[in-house]
Amino acid sequence: MIQTNFRQKQRNGATFKILLLLIAILSINLTLPAQVTIGTSEEPLSGALLQLKDKDNVSDSTLNARKGLALPRVTLSEKKELYPMFLADPDNPASGPSTDYAANKLVLDKAHTGLIVYNLVENDDKELCMGLNQWDGEQWNCFQSKIGNAIATLGNCDSLKFFGIYKNDVSLNAGNYMTIPLHVTKAGAYTITAMPDPDNGYYFTASGVFLTPGYYFLSITGAGTPLDYTPSGGTGDRIKVTFNNKAMDACDPLYIKVEDSSVKPVYYMSCSATKVRGVYELNKELDPDANYIEVTLNVTAPYGATYAIETNTVDGIYFKGSGMLNSASQTVKLQGYGTPTSVENKVMTITSNSSSDVSTCKATVVVSYPTKSVFAFGYYENTAGYLGQPGSGLRKMMDASVNFGNTENSTVKIVPYSSSQTFYPYNVVSGAAAYNTATVKSYLDTKPDIVITGFDLDVTDKTAMAANLVDYLKKGGVLIFVCERQTMVKAFFEALYPGYTITADWTTTNVMTLNFVNDEIVNGPFGDIRGLLWGNDSYGASGAQGLPDDDQIVVISRNSSGTPMILRHKRYNLLFISEGGFAANHNGATGPGAGGSVSTYPLAIDTSFKPITRTGWTGGNVENARLMANALAWAIKQAQYNGINTP
């Protein structure tokens, strides 16, 4: 207690002395002018309250001092707080604001506008820079102009991958790289480094600037030379990733196996035996166990060596696999990773670590088309099934996954609407409703991907119906226009070609030849039927005469007079078939006879509902089913890439 009183007396005495000194200074200042020069006895510049200089008689912009202004050095801790100036404990940033600052923050912030300090600490997270800082009444601002460091977090760990073959004493090359997904929350400079811990002689590094926040996917090439290989059974080098010298460990642990370069695997890939397994959908992540490539290896030597095989990355997906060579011939799996970003076929290039002089192999990954909608209208007749109504032969062919579906064996890969229905919505309008222009237009206005017509289309207002169909075409719609009514054929093509006079050529020939043209309607996924025949159901069809030159159309078939009977338009998504019963089948019957007579029902399907040749037809076997299947495959592709709903 005595000691405490003694210290208190000491402090009181010191305070009293300081007060006396301040009074003396203030008394002196009363005699000083409003403007001051420190360092010489000269008058200050007229526009300056305070001037610092120690060289006399310098009034221009040249050297006028040999020493500088020593500003206070502080440690700023918050961007928008006057700390440490108004901390409860100036040496403890966690102590919070002083009582006065807490009560008068807004007033004190504004009053200290223009305060200048030298900050000793860089803090990217709080956007505080080292060096001169000025308080602007609301926050601290750097004097110097600099972009600062970026701030980012890791994205999907499945996309943080290391590619290439790694061998001890073998320098890394362009095939050795890593991919890393980043969510950048603050723009700025960055340096990314990934390297083994402990060091093993190689690394990955990249530097640059993110100009805006956002999601990024970087590819970083490796460098250096691995020193030691991974022992048998080892997990490999553990890789540590840093971003601006801060650990990024959200995806840990990460490993790279380094092969023993003294062991030389020698094997050959059998390219002809390579198979792609699994189904692939747009924007659906690959399952490594279900999506893979099978590669057959013919092994020369030595057993026990490690194979490492991988593909390039195409549209977001890649495949890779590794393991031990243990037999003269073995089939291995390259597991798939990533997410397809497009529906285009992806040609993957397969490379290996074999020391043999072997060429690369190719494998094509087919991505399923998204589900497509279909609207069909015309004469409804259950027995023939012209419109693909449920139970018809055409509908069975369309809904069979072996033809159109999302399986490995589907001829045309498309995501089905359901397990029993491929296209959605498959709307069928028939009878009187089909001949009502307003009703049909209301369906066309919903923008179905594909429209199919059937039989004669003897509508009342053919001009209006034709105009609606042409309008749908010009908006990008896909139209399989199956029509034998002469007046409707004439109205349609005159709407498509204003100013042309069209006549419909009625034909009763029971078979006509498919031309040798390089077109997917007659040489598509369901077969090459060029030069073969198609059947005219009940022997009535209306071809179109007076069309423009063939530079606008591809003529698939002509009658004996040279009139186009089946044609595809080059500009619009139009396939015209002049025979209304082209896809007729008797009650969905299977077998080459299509369940009908030799002059009716020319569309034949087998017991799996695959399109087949209709045999026994008068005049020769006909290929209506395979042409119709090729036409649907063409329609799906056009709807995807150049359709009414294509972005």
Supply the pLDDT for residue 56: 84
3-state SS track over 312-357: CCECCEEEEEEEECCCCEEEEEEEEEECCCCCCCEEEEEEECCCCC
Strands (E) located in 18-172: 36-38, 50-52, 73-74, 116-119, 131-135, 140-142, 151-154, 161-163
Please, are residues 335 and 321 in contact by the beta-carbon 8 Å criterion?
yes
- Is the pLDDT score of 2 beyond 80? no
* 179 touches 160 (CB < 8 A): yes
Pairwise CA distance, residues 576 & 81, whole Å: 75
One-letter amino acid identity for 531? G
Beta pairing class for 292-301 and 329-338: antiparallel
Mean pLDDT of 108-137: 90
Which segments of 497-558 does DSSP mark as H helices, in order? none
Structure tokens at 532: 């073969």
Range(s) for CATH 2.60.40 in the chain? 151-256, 270-365
User: Residue 278: what pLDDT?
Assistant: 96
CA angle, 323 then 328 then 334, to 5°: 35
Q: What is the mean pLDDT of residues 236-242?
A: 96
For residue 144, the SS3 value is coil
Ramachandran angles phi, psi of 222, nearest 5°: -80, 165
Task: Pinpoint the residues of the chain covered by CATH 3.40.50.880.
Answer: 374-642
Q: What is the pLDDT of residue 500?
A: 93
Q: Are 71 and 132 in contact (CB under 8 A)?
A: yes
Q: What is the dihedral of CA 149, 153, 157, 163, to 10 degrees?
A: 0
Residue 412 scores a pLDDT above 90: yes
* CATH fold of the domain at 151-256: Immunoglobulin-like (2.60.40)
Task: pLDDT band for 18, please (50, 70, 90 cuts).
Answer: very low
Q: How far apart are CA 186 and CA 42, in angstroms?
A: 50
Please give the mean pLDDT across all residues of the chain.
90
Q: How far apart are the first and last CA of the chain?
A: 86
Higher pLDDT, 433 or 196: 196
Q: What is the pLDDT of residues 335-362, one digit of tens each?
A: 999 999 999 999 999 999 888 766 789 9
Cα(564)–Cα(586) distance, integer angstroms: 27
Answer whether residue 17 shows pLDDT above 70. no
pLDDT tens readout for residues 160-213: 999 888 989 999 998 899 999 999 999 889 999 999 999 999 999 999 989 899
Sequence-ordered list of residues with C-beta below 8 angstroms from that of 249, at least 6 positions apart, any chain? 240, 241
Does the predicted model carry a pTM greater than 0.85? no
Give which of 445, 561, 580 is closest to 503, Cα–Cα. 561
Q: What is the 3-state secondary structure (H, E, C) of 468-500?
A: HHHHHHHCCCEEEEECCCHHHHHHHHHHHCCCC
**Which residues, 6+ apart, have CB-to-CB distance to 428 below 8 Å?**
376, 377, 380, 387, 388, 389
- The amino acid at 426: Y
Q: Report the pLDDT value the prediction gives residue 32, as an integer from 0 to 100.
A: 47
AA identity, residue 76: L
- C-alpha torsion sign, points 6, 12, 16, 22: positive
The two structure tokens encoding residue 145: 């102009």
Count, in order, helices (H) and strands (E) of the chain: 8, 39
Tell me if 468 sits within 8 A of 400, measured CB to CB: no
> How many whole angstroms separate alpha carbon 374 and alpha carbon 371?
10
Give the percent of the chain with pLDDT over 70: 94
Query: Which residues are 239's β-sheet partners?
Result: 196
- d(Cα 321, Cα 199) in Å, to the nearest integer? 26
Residue 543 pLDDT: 96
pLDDT in tens, 471-501: 999 999 999 999 999 999 999 999 999 999 9
Q: How high is the pLDDT of residue 326?
A: 86
Question: Which uninterrupted H or E stretch holds 445?
Answer: none
- The pLDDT tens digits for 564-590 are 999 999 999 999 999 999 999 999 999
Record: fold of 374-642: Rossmann fold (3.40.50)
| Distance of alpha carbon 189 from alpha carbon 147, whole angstroms | 7
3-state secondary structure of 95: helix
Q: Which residues contact 167 (CB under 8 A, 6 or more apart)?
A: 226, 229, 258, 259, 260, 261
Rounded to an integer, the average pLDDT of 369-376 is 97
- What CA–CA distance (Å, rounded) separates 598 from 596? 7
Main-chain dihedrals φ then ψ at residue 395, nearest 5 degrees: -65, -40
**Residue 27: pLDDT over 80:** no
| Axis crossing angle, helix 462-474 with helix 486-496, rounded to the nearest 10 | 40
Residue 241: Cβ within 10 Å count: 21
Phi, psi dihedrals of residue 19, rounded to the nearest 5° = -65, -40
What whole-number distance in Å separates Cα of residue 585 and Cα of residue 106? Answer: 85
Fold of the domain spanning 270-365: Immunoglobulin-like (2.60.40)
361-365 β-sheet, strand order:
266-277, 292-301, 329-338, 317-324, 306-311, 346-352, 361-365
pLDDT band at 20 (very low <50, low <70, confident <90, very high): very low
Per-residue pLDDT tens over the stretch 240-272: 999 999 999 999 999 999 988 887 788 999 999
Burial class (CB in 10 A: 0-12, 13-18, 19+), 639: buried
Give percent of the chain with pLDDT exceeding 90. Answer: 73
Q: d(Cα 437, Cα 422) in Å, to the nearest integer?
A: 27
Closest CA to 603 of 413, 488, 402, 454: 454
pLDDT digits (tens, 9 = 90+) for 584-608: 999 999 999 999 889 999 999 999 9
Question: How far apart (Å, rounded) are the C-alpha atoms in residues 450 and 71?
Answer: 76
Whether 16 shows a pLDDT value over 70: the answer reads no
The two beta strands, 523-524 and 527-528, are: antiparallel
DSSP state at residue 609 = -
Query: What span, in angstroms and rounded, lies between the C-alpha atoms of 446 and 507?
Result: 35
Please report the pLDDT score of residue 349 as a whole number: 96
Break the chain down into helix, strand, coil percent, rounded to 5.
15, 35, 50
| pLDDT of 145 higher than 80 | no
- Residue 109 CB: number of other CB atoms within 10 A? 19
**What is d(CA 284, CA 343) in angstroms, rounded to the nearest whole number?**
11
